[in-house]
Structures are given as C-alpha cells and as structure tokens.
Structure 1
Amino acid sequence: MSSIIGLLILIADIFAIIKIAQSSADTVAKLLWILGVLVFPVLGLIVWYLAGPGGKKV
C-alpha cells in the first residue's frame, strides 16, 4: 500500500516539475521551486500548488 502512495507522490512531483519548467517565471524562481519539490516531495508539492508560479488564488 505504501508503495502505491509513494508512486502517486512521485507522479505528482514529476507533473509539478514539468509545470514549473513550463511556467513563465524567471530561471532562478523555477530552480528554487524545483529544488523545493525535490527536497520536500509532499510539502513542496502542496506549497507549489497553492503559491507557486501560476498558483491558485485562494
């Protein structure tokens, strides 16, 4: 069961990294967001979703 959750997190992180790379943010911001998602896979993904480049307006 935990391997399925890990796989889903990996897929979501890859999706986030692709979206970050495609965003219109500057290169430094993209690198910092990608680093955040890689270092903190779950928390980084949540923070990116809420506040990242092109993030949702809450």
Structure 2
Amino acid sequence: MTEVSGIGGFILLVLDIWAIVSIVGSSASTGKKVLWVLLVVLLPLLGFIIWLIAGPRSAKA
C-alpha cells in the first residue's frame, strides 16, 4: 500500500509543479500569482483542484 500512496504523491507533485508553472506564466498580476502559488503549495490537492476550476491560465492561448 505504501507504493500506491508514493505513486499518488508523485503524481500530485507533478500536477502541482505544472499548476505553478502555468500560474507563473499567466497574465495575472504579481499579487494574484503569489496567492495562487501559496494556495497550491500549502494545500497541494485542494489548491490544485481550486486552481484547475478557477485559476489563471497560461498566457499562450
């Protein structure tokens, strides 16, 4: 069972890194970027889900 949670943790880490890169590359203001990154870092799963629904998107559209 430890391997499953380890794999899940790794997947969550990759998704959080993807979210942070997307946040930093977005056209949002610096203050909003900092708040979004803090949310994703402090609450990895919940922060990622909230970002996925309502967060700023990357500027390359």
TM-score of the aligned structures, taking structure 2 as reference length: 0.87
Name whichever of 45-54 and 4-13 sits farther off: 45-54
The count of residues paired between Structure 1 and Structure 2 equals 54
Which 4+ residue blocks in structure 1 deviate beyond 3 angstroms?
none
1:1-58 correspondence to structure 2 within 5 Å:
1-54=4-57
Identity value in percent: 48
CA RMSD of aligned residues (A): 0.5
Structure 1: segments with no counterpart, 5+ residues: none
Of structures 1 and 2, the one scoring higher in RCO (CA 8 A, sep 6+) is 2
Structure with bigger gyration radius? 2
